[in-house]
Chain A
Amino acid sequence: GAGVSQSPSNKVTEKGKDVELRCDPISGHTALYWYRQSLGQGLEFLIYFQGNSAPDKSGLPSDRFSAERTGGSVSTLTIQRTQQEDSAVYLCASSLAAVPSYSGNTIYFGEGSWLTVV
């Protein structure tokens, strides 16, 4: 697709249920990032993929959070046994590669998945 696509755009779930959030990056982008943004707050890094591997999982807040990426493309962020503090916007981003000095490189974000845990 033309941009980073995320689904669902909005999700309301009951506390204790599992949710899956999907990210479809820009075609050809090898780097993929997940961030979380709580209401009125900045962006909190969750996980980064280079291809299918996740060299940095340090941002995942607890073992209830996991993510995978298959075929170097689509990524799924799974939250098990959701809690109210998981309510946030989950943003996915992608780039050609994580090479910061390449002037033509940039990181594009999807529109986010708004998660509300009730």
Chain B
Amino acid sequence: AQKITQTQPGMFVQEKEAVTLDCTYDTSDPSYGLFWYKQPSSGEMIFLIYQGSYDQQNATEGRYSLNFQKARKSANLVISASQLGDSAMYFCAILGTEGGSNYKLTFGKGTLLTVNP
């Protein structure tokens, strides 16, 4: 079964500094997608960035970049120049078929990021 592991329950970062949120995954699928979502205290799930398993280049979206290391099955999120509004729960997720024909989006347990002024 596919699985996402986020080993950091909580992280702290100073405003304007960069922070890396860890994500490792396990899958037997050759074709899969990796997502990062932000969930502020209001509860909505906000899409941040996506990386396809066959994408050669690391995905970037503004201040967000995904450090994709396929051989290590790692998909860490890097947030540059942290802002107070970045304080939220961050979820890593994988979209795959678990070896079957039906797709499932599986989430990790999340990392709570706190940005300090």
> Which chain A residues have a beta carbon within 8 Å of chain B's beta carbons?
31, 33, 35, 42-43, 45, 48, 50, 55-56, 89, 91, 93, 98, 100-103, 105-112, 114
Contact = CB atoms under 8 A, between A and B. Distances in A.
Interface in B20-37: 29, 31-33, 35, 37
Contacts of A105: 33, 50
B43 A100 contact: no
Given A100-B96, A101-B53, A107 B105 contact: yes
Contact of B50 (A31, A43, A48, A103): A103
Contact of B105 (A33, A42, A102): A33
B95 A100 contact: yes
Contacts of B50: 103, 105-106
A107 B95 contact: yes
A42 B110 contact: yes
A68 to B, nearest CB: 17
B47 interface: yes
B21 to A, nearest CB: 15
Q: Which of B32, B47, B104 has the most CB of A within 10 A?
A: B104
B45 interface: yes
Contacts of A101: 31-33, 52-55
Contacts of A42: 91, 107-110
A48 B103 CA distance: 8
